[in-house]
Amino acid sequence: MSIDLLASSILTASAAIAIAVVSVGFGQTMSVRLRIAAGLVLWFVFVVGMAATGILSYPSGLGTPGLGVAVVLPIVVLVVLVLRSPDGRLALQSVPLELIVALHAIRVLGVLFLILYTAGRLPAPFAPLAGWGDVLTGLAAVPLAWWLHHQAGRSGRTALWIWNTFGSLDLVLAVGLGAVSTPGPTQLIFVEPGTALMTSLPWLLIPAFLVPLLAAIHLAIFYRLATHRYPDGVNTHSAVRPCA
């Protein structure tokens, strides 16, 4: 089985997990959860369509500027939708932090970058730094989520700040290195094979779907940490929410 075919299955499964977790975590009622899931599925399908048509490839497509929009625009849209909606703000305040932290365990798939680098299909420093950063973030996510669930004290709050900052910077570094390693107007690192592979299937799912969604979750965690002041740490648990 080729790495591309294997990655297609793994990345699709990871996207499905992310859609399920975000829908359940941020949906206050069943109808809201279904709407969130539907919107995320449409976004996923749109990204697959962009990869299939090669619209973000270079030089025949939009190249790095288009990929930059595909990464940043969804983050902006998600933030605006949540903050402008009373239901969104309520969900932001009540989503269990341990749930959305644990979701980042899917980032152990950064090992795919390391495999592609070893196979000569992605360059350094992009692949090693982005890959290892994701792996470390993903490996730390589950024990941190368990810790937050069982002990939400000052030490848990501090650990969450450190982990969330590291995970966010890893995404920023990965996107930045990818941009300056891709043929086009932003290229500063001229190495072969470059990062053009990331605009094709199934790899576009990483920068155009998983990265924006996980980055938005990092922002949600920062928001909770900045706006909730608890004398004994951080309240990680959601309020009681209706089921329908």
CA–CA dist 60, 196 (Å, integer): 12
Token representation of residue 100: 């959305």
**Closest-CA residue to 191 (of 127, 243, 124):** 124
Specify the pLDDT at position 130. Answer: 96
- C-alpha separations of 239 from 91, 93, 221, 233, 242 in Å: 10, 9, 16, 17, 10
Specify the pLDDT at position 230. Answer: 52
Q: What pLDDT, in 10s, does the model give residues 194-243?
A: 888 898 999 999 999 999 999 999 999 999 998 876 544 455 554 434 44
**Residues whose CB falls within 8 Å of the CB of residue 84, separated by 6 or more in sequence, listed in order:** none
Specify the pLDDT at position 237. Answer: 53
Sign of CA dihedral 25, 31, 37, 43: negative
CA–CA dist 10, 109 (Å, integer): 8
Specify the pLDDT at position 152. Answer: 64
Specify the pLDDT at position 231. Answer: 41
Specify the pLDDT at position 150. Answer: 82
Specify the pLDDT at position 244. Answer: 44
Mark the ranges of the chain whose per-residue pLDDT is less than 50.
231-233, 238-244
CB 47 within 8 A of CB 151: no
